[in-house]
Structure formats: C-alpha cells, structure tokens
Structure 1
Amino acid sequence: MAEKELAELLFLVGKRLRHGYLQRLVPLGLTPGQTRALRALADAEGPLRMVRLADELRIVPRSLTPVVDALEEAGLVRREVDPANRRSTLLVITPEGRELAERARDARRQAGEELFAVLSREQREQLGELLTLVDGQFR
C-alpha cells in the first residue's frame, strides 16, 4: 500500500469518527471546541487560568473567549479572579460542566466503538498500538 493511500485512508476514517462524534454532541448542546475546553477543565487538578487553557488547547487566548462565554452562559464553567494575580482569570468547572464533560467523553467513546466494531478486539488493540507509536514521534 502506498503511503499516500494510507494517509488518505486514515483521513477518511478520522472524518467518519468525527461525524459520528458530532452527531452525538448535538443532543448535549455542545460544539467540539466547547467539549475540548470542558474536557481539559475536567481533567485539570484545579481551576485553570484562561491563558493556560488556551495553551492546553493549542489556540490563541482570544479564540477561547467566545467558547468560555458560551460555557459560562450555560452554567458549565464560572470565571473567578485569581487570588494570586488579580489581573488573571481562573476558570472553574461546575458540577453540571463536569457531568456534561463525562457525557461528551462517553459520546466520543461510543462513536469509536461503533466505527471500530468491524474489528476484532485483537485488531483494535493492534491498531491502538500502531497509532500510539505514530503519535508518539510528535510528542
């Protein structure tokens, strides 16, 4: 198999996975960007500064503002003044936000399970190992 064909195949599989995931996010009322932000906040050991969350998401801070605005309006996060630096804003995930982050994580898991159901357990494990190896070269 030519390298281009493998890259194209991976692209198409990724596209199918994203489509299945997006379909499961719609009932939750979340966009992929909001979901990524919630997941990062849920996985953090405590509140994050906006600048730190933007770094984690690999976006510029000004791109994060509308995402946080929407999450705050929905009651999923709240902004607090950082007591260590009053010019900084901390983002705190609410219990509702934490629960929705978990539901979104389940949605992603379900999309993956549906897509890879055609593979045996051993094949899924092998594919996971191979993709981890490829991904590891960029870390």
Structure 2
Amino acid sequence: MTTPEPDGLLAEQLLRLTRRIHRSQQRRLESAGVAITPAQSRLLRALAQEERPPRMADLAARLEVVPRAVTTLVDGLEAAGRVRRAPDTENRRVIRVELTDTGRATLRSLREARRAAAEDILSPLTPQQRSDFGALLSTLVDARPHTC
C-alpha cells in the first residue's frame, strides 16, 4: 500500500470535513422540520445578499448555473412559500425573485444549523486552534486562483 501524497491527503481530509459538517447541518434541519436541498439553501443565501430582488438570470450567473436550474430551484422554493416571483416595478416583463417571511425564517434556521454543526465539529479544538484554523481557511478562500 502506498502512502498518499500530503496534498492529496489534505484534499481528502477537507472533503471529509465538509461532508461531516453538511451531514450534521442536515440532521439539525430535519429535526427542526426544515426540508430544503443544499442547492435551495445556496439560492436563499444568494438572495439574502442582494440589495434588491434579482432577476432569475442574475441568480443563475451568481450561482454559476444554467438559468433552467434556477427556475427549478425557484419553483420548489416558491411552492414551499420561501420565495415569490414579482414583476419589476420599472419593467413589468422582468420577473424578480424575493424572499418571503418564511424564506427569512428558513435562512435563520440554516444559519443556526450551520453554526451548531460547526461548533460540534470544531469542539476538539482550543480557542487558539480555532483562530489559527479560521485564519488559514481565510487565506485559502481569499487566494486568487492560479491560471494554468
């Protein structure tokens, strides 16, 4: 048996950690009665970051998916009462997507589940280790991608 390369091992560990956080978050959401897919969660978070309700095409670009995928996500979120489609006040042909009160409550549940999952996963670390880990993750997240 060969020993994995350090970078390969690190990549595998990061993937495993991400999966653990995701599973823990999903368990918390399910126990709170919140049924939502990861893609729908991502769309809600994207909506919450917008100053004004975006167009479907804007959401597709922001999420880096095809417009049809956003339509499917919005359909499911709208059926659950988490978002609504609304005509643009300046151009009635343009449809915008906005959060509802239920959508905002879902976002609060998502944030709490994510925070609790992270707390659970990070509990073996000391406060200093958490700070160091956070700084390292920030460095990686903020790094400019290398072009080949």
TM-score (norm 1): 0.91
Gaps of 5+ in 2: none
The answer for the alignment partner of 2:103 in structure 1 is: 97
Identity %: 40
The answer for the alignment partner of 1:119 in structure 2 is: 125
Alpha-carbon separation, structure 1, partners of 2:9 and 2:40: 33
The answer for the alignment partner of 1:18 in structure 2 is: 22
Q: Residues 41-72 of structure 1: CA distance to partner in whole angstroms, max 9, x if unpaired?
A: 12221211111112222211110111101111
- Does 44-53 or 122-131 show the bigger shift? 44-53
RMSD, aligned CA: 1.6
Q: Offset at 1:23? A: 1.7
Amino acid at match of 2:85: R
1:58-73 equivalences under 5 Å are 58-73=64-79
Alpha-carbon separation, structure 2, partners of 1:101 and 1:80: 20
User: Aligned with 1:92: secondary structure?
Assistant: strand
Between structures 1 and 2, the one with greater strand share: 1
Which structure has the larger Rg over C-alpha atoms?
2
Paired residues, number = 139
1:9-88 equivalences under 5 Å are 9-26=13-30, 27-88=33-94
Q: Offset at 1:98? A: 0.8
Q: Offset at 1:136? A: 1.2
User: Aligned with 2:94: secondary structure?
Assistant: strand
Between structures 1 and 2, the one with greater helix share: 1
Q: Residues 61-114 of structure 1: CA distance to partner in whole angstroms, max 9, x if unpaired?
A: 110111101111111111011233333210011111111111111111111111
Kindly indicate whether residue 111 of structure 2 is the aligned counterpart of residue 108 of structure 1.
no
Kindly indicate whether residue 144 of structure 2 is the aligned counterpart of residue 129 of structure 1.
no
Contact 1:25 1:31 in 2 (8 A): no
Alpha-carbon separation, structure 2, partners of 1:114 and 1:25: 15
